[in-house]
Every structure is written in structure tokens, then in C-alpha cells.
């Protein structure tokens, strides 16, 4: 396009562009394409793609409120490796991620299979709405509400468990329970997502396949394992990948409900990042945590995608 | 199934049939009962939130829990506005959310169309770059973005939340998929009628991807209305807070005193998302499933 004749002066350029030929049309469409992309590309460059590299760069500096940035090579990463609080927080995040994703996916699958068999429209609508509603709440609202529900003395949950003879459980105040509590509240909210996803997947499975399974005598667990799950595998992969990405970023729930406590029992990776960068104002150290967090998410996602080639089945 | 039939020694199949009926009925209703109980457990916290928000302050956090709103203490709702600048915060949430949604719809429609229907050098490469940025979590960029916003003097303004959220790789990808489903013949007939390139986009394509725009608008509205992490970092003065931060602050003030007031704030924060859910749940659910189609 650079060799076009007559592009030497303004009028010529206009003529070159507006030519009533296929070439002119192609040029106009190309220019329009770049113009249409400009806001998005520029924005992504400034706010996402560029900053990723800046984060990598910043992680090599010591930079706090007292001193100007100082190049320290990998010192932040060395400090990070020796920081017990960070090790605990990443460990908590890992435990939380495994438990939360397993719960969300398995219970969401059961709910979807149950509701899929219901043929009555009103009942289907009721269940779909009921299971979906918590997903509309913000993480902050969930954390506030669940903070009361899980209260040891006055919470409704312990009251009803008490009626069944269960002793008051220290949901938020015991280091053994607090992660489980956060898993339960996050599953409560995210079930709506996996449920809707799997319900949609089930309704896409062709009737003939299920009938064929019936004829072959596949029933119960066998049918679940060898027919339903393979046919739903694209949705299960999607739920697992997005579930892991979301769970590794867990923040509001422990931040609002327990402030990371008791001790460090519910401190998560994003919480230590927040504390380092925005409470202690150590941008370099915070960036090092951000880089590690990013690499963890990336590794998780790539491993899941790679493993999925062996078990995901596209209809 | 009378006793007569049962007494007939030759008819074993009747008993067997009855067994089948029993197991069929059990197989049909036991899961439904189980689902029903579970649905009650899942809805219960929301019902409790609503009825507790209407209980008299001093006995709002007591056992046994009450499930029906009996006191109708509407003054809890008024008290939210006294404890935090909640009216201001509702306006802030509205401006942030709608600013972001409208900005995303415009920029993603333009970019999605360019990727789907226009030809230019480097298009596929740029598309892959945009797609790859979907993998970048907000935490990986939040420190440089904060420093950038501070240097621009935008920290503690609503713009600090709107501007960085407008460019959307997800929205671009989503709308590209919708543009791709529209038959190219429409474009040819548009050109025959003498439409220029802008008219092709604006008059022919854009009206046909309205469902895609609705999906993006609703997903984005829910996400940004409920956002907490970025506002917590980018905003300082509670006059500039969205309601998620307002509720957080309210909870801090009230501790376990009058939780009814805090829950009144929660209920109010839910109104817009529930309204949008009622109007557009079709698009919301479609949006969730769209994401899964291509793995």
C-alpha cells in the first residue's frame, strides 16, 4: 500500500483513499480497521499489557516512601522466599483453591443433573433462580452477611446445628476452621455459575446419545462416569480453569470477614500483595509478589489446558 | 393393584411391576426433595438478610433467628444514610458502573467489528495479543496502574476506576464472535445500496449484534457494580466510595451492635443487580455459557 501513486500531496492522498475501485475500498476498510481498534489497543497497552512488563521491572527495585527507587536485582525475590508470612499465605491460597474448585464443580454438577431431569417449567425456573441468586451479590456483601451467619454465639448456622446437637463451631475464630468457612461461603456464591454452565451443557447433549447409553444398559454411576461427564468435559474444563483463576485471587471474603486471622490462618496471596504495596508502600516488594502470583495463575491455567487434551472430549 | 391379582400365583410380573413403580417414583422424587431442601439452604441467608434488616436495632443479632420480618423497622434504612454518605455512594456506584459499561460497549463493538469483518495487515497477530491479555489478572498490573493514575492526578476520582476498565479484551472477543455469525451477504447488499463503510457498521451490523451487546452490558454491569479490590486501592475519601466500600465501612462502624443497619445497606446494594437479573437473565445466562463454547 505504501507504493500507491499519487499519495504525494493531501489531495492525492484523499483521492488514493476514496478511489472508487476495489483497491480503494480495501484501503478504506484497512484504515477503518486501525481506527476502530485504536481505543481498545491503546487502552490495553496502557492499562494491561504495558503494566505487566512494568511489574516485572519494578520487582527488581527497592522502592518505598522513604527512598527513591533503588535497583536491587533479585533481592525482593530472595526476601520473598524467606518470608514465612508469604509462604503461609500462598499455602492458604493453594488449599483454598483446591477445595473451593472441587466443591463448586462437583456440587454444581449434581445440582445441574438433578434440575436437568425436571420437566415441569415452573419448578425448573424456581430451582434455576434459587441456585443463581447468590451470584448476584458482591463478594463484599457476601463477606458481611456470612460474617454474621457464621458468628459463633449469635449466628443462625450454629443455632440450627445446636438444635441437631452439634457444639458451637468456631467458624471464624479457629485456625482449623476458618479456611473451610471461606470455602463454604465462596461455594455458596459460585455454585450458581457452575450450575448454569452445566445445565446448559446438559441440554446440548443430544437425546440419541443418552438413549443409546440406556440401550447399552449404562445406568447410575457408570452412566455418569462414562457418558455424562465426558460429554460435559468442555464445560467442566471451563469451570475448572475460571474457578482456579478466580479462587487464586480470593481477597474480599477473608479481608472483610477475618482480616486474615486468626493469626495468619486466612491470609491469602492477594492480601499480602495488598499489604506490601498499599499499606507498607513497598512497590518493589509488592511487585515481586504480584509477579509470583501471576506466574502461579499462568502455570495453573497452562497445566489444566495441557492435561485437558487427554480428558476433554468435544462432541 | 388389587389383592386379587396378587393372589394369582401365575402373575409374578405384577409384584415386579409394583417394585418398579416404587423405585421409579423414588428415583423421580427423592432427587427433587433433595434439591428442594438444598435450595432452601441456599436462599436462607438472603431471606435472613432481608428480614433482619427490618428488625429493631438492639435485638437484630439474637438467637433464635426470626425468618419473617415482624418489626418493619424501616428506620434502619434511613440510618445507613446517616452513618456513611450512602446517597453519594449510590451515585458513585451508578456513575462508575454506567461509565464503564457504556465505554466498554463502544470500544468493544468497534474493535470486535474490526477483528471480525475488516481486513488489514497484522490483524490476526493483534487479535492474539488482545486475547493473551485476558490471561493477565488485575493484581499483576495494579501497582503500575496505581502509580500511573497517581501521576495523572486521577487517584481518588471516579475516573481512576472507569478509564482503566473501558478497554476490554473479553468484550472485544465476545462481540467479535457475534459479528462473525452475521452472514456476509448482508454486507454485499449494503454496498450495492451505496452504503459507506461507517454505515455498513452502524446501520447494518450493529443492530444485528444487539443480543451480544446486551450480554456484555449485563455481565459488565454485575462485575463493576460489585467491585471491591480496585476501589479499595484507588479511592481514599469515603465521599468517593462506591457502595461496596460503603457497606464494608458500615460493618466496621457497627461491629456486632446493630447489624440490622448493615444488612439494610446490603439489601439496598442488591436492588439494581436483582432488577437487571429479572429483566435480562436470558442474556446473563447466555453470557456465562458463551464463554464455555470454545473452551
Asked whether residue B173 falls in the same domain as residue B82, the answer is yes
Asked whether residue B43 falls in the same domain as residue B82, the answer is no
Is the CB of B163 less than 8 angstroms away from the CB of A47? yes
Q: How many domains does chain B divide into?
A: 2
A42 three-state secondary structure: helix
Q: Grid coordinates standing for A271?
A: 492480601
For chain A, which residues make up each domain, given as ranges? 10-58, 77-311
Q: Among residues 26-85 of chain A, which lie with CB inside 8 Å of chain B?
A: 26, 28-34, 36-37, 39-44, 46-52, 54-55, 58
Tell whether A308 lies on the interface with B, counting CB pairs under 8 A.
Answer: yes
Arithmetic mean of pLDDT over chain A:
88
Is the CB of B45 less than 8 angstroms away from the CB of A39? no
Is the CB of A141 less than 8 angstroms away from the CB of B62? no
Nearest to B211 by CA among B105, B103, B104: B105
**Exposed / middle / buried, residue B53 (Cβ in 10 Å: 0-12, 13-18, 19+):** buried
- Residue A36, CA distances (Å) to B106, B108, B176, B295 in order: 10, 9, 13, 27
In terms of pTM, does the model score above 0.80? Answer: yes
A64 three-state secondary structure: strand
Total residues belonging to chain B: 295
Residue B166 located in a structural domain: yes
Residue B19 located in a structural domain: yes
- The Cα A138–Cα A136 span in angstroms is 7
Asked whether residue B94 falls in the same domain as residue B143, the answer is yes
Asked whether residue B129 falls in the same domain as residue B268, the answer is yes
Residue B123 located in a structural domain: yes
Phi, psi torsion values for B135, nearest 5 degrees: -80, -10
Q: Among residues 131-190 of chain A, which lie with CB inside 8 Å of chain B?
A: 131-134, 136-141, 144-149, 151, 153-154, 156, 159, 188
ipTM of this complex? 0.89
Is the CB of A238 less than 8 angstroms away from the CB of B292? yes
Is the CB of B65 less than 8 angstroms away from the CB of A297? no
Residue B223 located in a structural domain: yes
Asked whether residue B89 falls in the same domain as residue B44, the answer is no
Q: What is the pLDDT of residues A141-180, one digit of tens each?
A: 999 999 999 999 889 999 999 999 999 899 999 999 999 9
Asked whether residue B135 falls in the same domain as residue B19, the answer is no
- Whether A31 contacts A17, CB under 8 Å: yes
Question: What domain range includes position B115?
Answer: 75-293
CATH, range A77-311: 1.10.3720.10
Asked whether residue B11 falls in the same domain as residue B121, the answer is no
Residue B171 located in a structural domain: yes
Question: In the prediction, which pLDDT does A23 show?
Answer: 81
Nearest to A311 by CA among A241, A254, A233, A255: A233
Q: What is the pLDDT of residues A191-246, one digit of tens each?
A: 999 999 999 888 888 777 777 777 776 667 777 777 888 888 888 998 999 999 99
Asked whether residue B122 falls in the same domain as residue B238, the answer is yes
Cβ neighbour number for residue A11 with a 10 Å cutoff:
9
Nearest CA of chain A to the CA of B42: how many Å?
Answer: 7
Residue B69 located in a structural domain: no
Asked whether residue B262 falls in the same domain as residue B138, the answer is yes
* Cα angle value B42/B46/B52 (rounded, 5°): 135
Residues of chain B below pLDDT 70: 1-15, 22-27, 255-257, 290-295
Four-CA torsion A285, A291, A292, A293, nearest 10 degrees: 110
- Residue A127, CA distances (Å) to A74, A114, A197 in order: 53, 10, 14
Is the CB of B63 less than 8 angstroms away from the CB of A293? no
Amino acid at each position: 500500500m505504501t507504493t500507491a501513486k499519487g499519495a504525494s500531496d493531501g489531495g492525492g492522498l484523499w483521492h488514493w483513499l476514496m478511489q472508487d475501485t476495489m483497491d480503494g475500498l480495501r484501503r478504506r476498510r484497512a484504515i477503518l480497521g486501525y481506527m476502530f481498534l485504536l481505543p481498545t489497543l491503546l487502552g490495553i497497552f496502557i492499562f494491561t499489557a504495558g503494566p505487566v512488563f512494568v511489574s516485572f521491572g519494578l520487582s527488581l527495585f527497592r522502592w518505598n516512601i522513604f527512598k527513591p527507587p533503588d535497583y536491587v536485582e533479585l533481592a525482593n525475590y530472595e526476601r520473598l522466599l524467606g518470608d514465612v508470612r508469604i509462604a503461609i499465605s500462598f499455602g492458604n491460597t493453594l488449599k483454598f483453591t483446591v477445595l473451593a474448585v472441587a466443591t463448586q464443580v462437583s456440587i454444581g454438577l449434581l445440582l445441574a443433573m438433578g434440575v436437568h431431569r425436571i420437566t415441569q417449567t415452573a419448578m425448573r425456573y424456581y430451582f434455576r433462580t434459587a441456585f443463581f441468586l447468590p451470584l448476584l451479590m458482591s463478594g463484599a456483601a457476601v463477606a458481611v452477611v456470612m460474617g454474621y451467619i457464621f458468628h459463633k454465639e449469635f449466628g443462625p448456622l450454629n443455632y440450627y446445628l445446636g438444635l441437631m446437637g452439634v457444639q458451637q463451631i468456631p467458624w471464624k475464630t479457629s485456625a482449623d476452621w476458618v479456611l473451610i468457612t471461606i470455602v463454604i461461603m465462596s461455594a455458596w456464591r459460585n455454585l450458581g455459575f457452575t450450575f448454569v454452565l452445566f445445565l446448559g451443557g446438559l441440554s446440548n447433549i443430544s437425546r440419541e446419545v443418552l438413549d443409546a447409553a440406556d440401550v447399552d444398559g449404562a445406568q447410575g454411576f457408570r452412566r455418569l462416569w462414562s457418558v455424562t461427564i465426558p460429554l460435559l468435559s468442555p464445560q467442566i474444563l471451563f469451570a475448572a480453569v475460571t474457578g482456579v483463576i478466580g479462587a487464586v485471587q480470593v481477597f474480599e471474603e477473608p479481608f472483610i470477614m477475618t482480616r486474615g486471622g486468626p493469626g495468619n490462618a486466612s491470609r491469602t496471596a492477594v492480601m499480602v500483595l495488598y499489604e506490601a504495596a498499599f499499606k507498607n508502600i513497598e512497590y518493589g516488594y509488592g511487585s515481586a509478589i504480584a509477579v509470583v502470583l501471576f506466574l502461579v495463575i499462568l502455570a495453573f491455567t497452562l497445566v489444566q489446558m495441557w492435561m485437558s487434551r487427554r480428558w476433554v472430549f468435544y462432541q | 393393584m388389587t389383592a386379587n391379582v396378587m393372589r394369582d400365583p401365575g402373575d409374578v410380573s405384577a409384584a415386579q411391576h409394583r417394585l418398579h413403580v416404587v423405585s421409579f417414583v423414588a428415583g423421580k422424587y427423592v432427587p427433587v426433595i433433595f434439591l428442594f431442601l438444598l435450595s432452601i439452604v441456599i436462599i436462607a441467608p438472603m431471606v435472613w438478610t432481608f428480614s433482619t434488616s427490618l428488625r429493631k436495632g438492639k435485638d437484630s443479632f439474637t438467637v433464635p433467628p426470626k425468618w419473617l420480618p415482624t418489626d418493619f423497622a424501616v428506620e434502619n434504612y434511613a440510618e445507613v444514610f446517616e452513618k456513611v454518605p450512602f446517597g453519594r455512594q449510590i451515585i458513585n456506584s451508578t456513575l462508575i458502573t454506567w461509565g464503564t459499561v457504556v465505554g466498554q460497549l463502544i470500544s468493544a463493538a468497534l474493535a470486535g467489528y474490526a477483528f471480525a469483518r475488516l481486513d488489514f495487515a497484522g490483524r490476526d497477530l493483534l487479535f492474539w495479543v488482545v486475547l493473551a491479555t485476558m490471561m493477565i489478572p488485575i493484581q499483576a498490573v495494579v501497582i503500575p496502574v496505581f502509580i500511573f493514575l497517581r501521576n495523572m492526578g486521577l487517584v481518588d476520582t471516579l475516573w481512576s476506576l472507569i478509564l482503566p476498565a473501558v478497554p476490554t479484551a473479553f468484550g472485544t472477543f465476545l462481540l467479535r464472535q457475534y459479528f462473525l455469525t452475521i452472514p456476509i451477504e448482508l454486507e454485499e447488499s449494503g454496498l450495492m445500496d451505496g452504503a459507506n463503510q461507517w454505515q455498513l457498521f452502524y446501520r447494518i451490523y450493529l443492530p444485528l449484534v444487539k443480543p451480544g451487546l446486551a450480554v456484555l452490558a449485563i455481565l459488565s454491569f454485575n462485575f463493576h457494580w460489585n467491585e471491591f479490590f480496585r476501589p479499595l486501592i484507588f479511592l481514599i475519601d469515603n465521599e468517593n466510595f462506591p457502595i461496596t466500600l460503603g457497606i464494608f465501612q458500615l460493618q466496621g462502624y457497627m461491629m456486632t451492635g446493630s447489624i440490622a443497619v448493615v444488612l439494610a445497606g446490603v439489601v439496598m446494594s442488591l436492588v439494581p443487580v436483582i432488577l437487571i437479573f429479572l429483566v435480562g437473565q436470558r442474556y446473563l445466562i447466555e453470557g456465562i455459557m458463551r464463554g464455555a463454547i470454545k473452551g
